[in-house]
C-alpha cells in the first residue's frame, strides 16, 4: 500500500491530474474507436476544467484554510504553563549546495518552521531558569535537514548544548516513531507548517506521544466574512493551484502516514510479546 501511495503522491496536484487526464485522452484519441474515442474527446475539456477550477480561490482557499486552522497558534507563555521545556521542529525540505548560505539551502517551510521554533525557544529561555531543548528532525540525501537547521540555529544564537538532532527519519510517521523513545509521555511543542499539522498531530498522538501544536507557515487567512465577496470575485491565480496541491497531497499522505504508524505500532507490540516470551 505504502509504495503505491508514494508513487501516487507526485500526481496529487491539479497539474498532475490534468497531465494524466490529457495523456489518457491522447491515447484514446490516437488508438481508441467508437465510445473510447468519444471518452478521449470528453477527457480533454474535463482535464482542463480541473486545472481551471483549482486556480479559483473559491475552491482552493477554503479547502486549505480548513487544514491550516484546525490548531490555533500558540505563545511561549502557554507552553510554560503546560510545563513544556522541549520544542520539536519537523524539517520540510533541504537542498544543500556549497557556497550558498544555509538560508538558501533550507526550503521555505523548513526555514519558517525553524524560525518559529527559535522564537518559542528564546521566549521560554527568557523566563525559565534553565534553557529548553530544541530538537530538529529530518534527514536528507547529502546533508540532513536537521544538520542544516542546526547550523542556522547556532548562527542565530541557540547554544549547541541546547540542540538535539534526529537525522534518520524518512517521513512524518518515522519522526513520531523515532522521537517516541526520547520524548515518552512528556508534553512538548510540535512545530511544523499549519497544513501539515493535522497529519503530524495525528501521527504523534497515535504513537502515544503528547504534542502541543505550534503551527506556522500559514498560507491563508482565518475565515472573515468581509473577504467572502472578494474571494468569489477573484480571478484565477497560480497560488490557488499551489493551495489545492497542498490539500490533495495532505489528503493522500494522511493515508500513507496512518498505514506507517499502524505498522510501527504492530511491530512494537510484536517486539514486546517476543521479549516477554524470552523471559
Which CATH number among 3.40.50.620, 3.40.50.300, 3.40.50.2300, 1.20.1740.10 corresponds to the domain 73-216?
3.40.50.620
Per the CB < 8 A criterion, the answer to whether 223 and 65 are in contact is: yes
pLDDT digits (tens, 9 = 90+) for 201-230: 999 999 999 999 999 999 998 876 455 556
72-128 pLDDT tens trace: 999 999 999 999 999 999 999 999 888 899 999 999 999 999 999 999 999 999 877
| 148 Cβ contact partners less than 8 Å away, ≥ 6 residues apart | 94, 96, 102, 105, 106, 110, 140
Distance CA 149, CA 110 (A): 8
Per-residue DSSP letter, 56: S
Evaluate whether 128 touches 138 at the Cβ level (below 8 Å).
no
pLDDT tens by residue, 123-181: 999 877 778 999 999 988 778 999 999 999 999 999 999 999 999 998 999 999 999 98
> For residue 74, what is the DSSP state?
-
Report pLDDT for 1: 45
Domain with CATH 3.40.50.620 in the chain: 73-216
| Contact call for residues 160 and 154 (beta carbons, < 8 A) | yes
pLDDT at site 221: 87
Residue 232: predicted pLDDT:
57
Task: Report the 3 state secondary structure along 15-77.
Answer: HHHHHHHHHHHHHHHHHCCCHHHHHHHHHHHHHHHHHHHHCCHHHHHHHHHHHHCCCCCCCHH
Phi, psi of 251 (to 5 degrees): -65, -45
Q: Which three cell numbers stand for residue 37?
A: 474515442
pTM: 0.88
The string of pLDDT tens digits covering residues 10-37 is: 677 899 999 999 999 999 999 888 899 9
Amino acid at each position: 500500500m505504502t509504495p503505491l501511495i508514494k508513487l501516487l503522491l507526485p500526481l496529487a496536484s491539479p497539474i498532475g491530474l490534468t497531465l494524466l487526464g490529457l495523456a489518457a485522452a491522447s491515447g484514446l484519441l490516437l488508438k481508441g474507436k467508437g465510445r473510447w474515442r468519444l471518452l478521449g474527446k470528453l477527457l480533454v475539456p474535463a482535464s482542463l476544467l480541473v486545472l481551471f477550477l483549482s486556480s479559483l480561490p473559491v475552491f482552493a482557499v477554503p479547502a486549505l484554510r480548513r487544514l491550516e486552522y484546525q490548531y490555533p497558534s500558540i505563545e511561549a507563555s502557554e507552553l510554560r504553563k503546560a510545563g513544556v521545556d522541549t520544542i520539536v521542529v519537523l524539517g520540510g525540505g533541504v537542498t544543500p549546495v556549497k557556497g550558498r548560505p544555509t538560508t538558501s539551502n533550507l526550503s521555505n517551510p523548513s526555514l519558517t518552521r525553524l524560525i518559529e521554533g527559535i522564537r518559542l525557544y528564546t521566549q521560554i529561555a527568557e523566563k525559565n531558569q534553565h534553557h529548553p531543548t530544541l530538537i530538529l528532525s529530518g534527514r536528507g540525501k547529502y546533508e540532513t535537514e536537521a544538520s542544516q537547521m542546526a547550523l542556522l540555529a547556532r548562527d542565530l544564537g541557540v547554544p549547541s548544548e541546547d540542540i538535539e538532532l534526529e537525522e534518520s527519519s524518512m517521513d512524518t510517521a518515522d519522526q513520531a516513531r523515532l522521537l517516541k523513545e526520547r520524548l515518552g509521555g512528556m508534553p512538548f511543542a510540535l512545530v511544523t507548517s499549519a497544513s501539515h499539522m493535522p497529519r503530524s498531530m495525528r501521527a504523534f498522538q497515535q504513537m502515544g506521544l503528547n504534542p502541543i501544536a505550534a503551527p506556522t507557515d500559514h498560507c491563508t487567512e482565518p475565515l472573515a466574512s468581509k473577504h467572502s465577496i472578494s474571494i468569489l470575485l477573484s480571478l484565477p491565480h497560480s497560488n490557488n493551484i499551489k493551495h489545492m496541491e497542498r490539500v490533495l497531497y495532505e489528503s493522500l499522505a494522511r493515508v500513507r502516514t496512518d498505514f506507517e504508524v499502524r505498522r510501527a505500532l504492530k511491530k512494537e507490540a510484536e517486539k514486546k510479546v517476543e521479549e516477554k516470551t524470552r523471559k
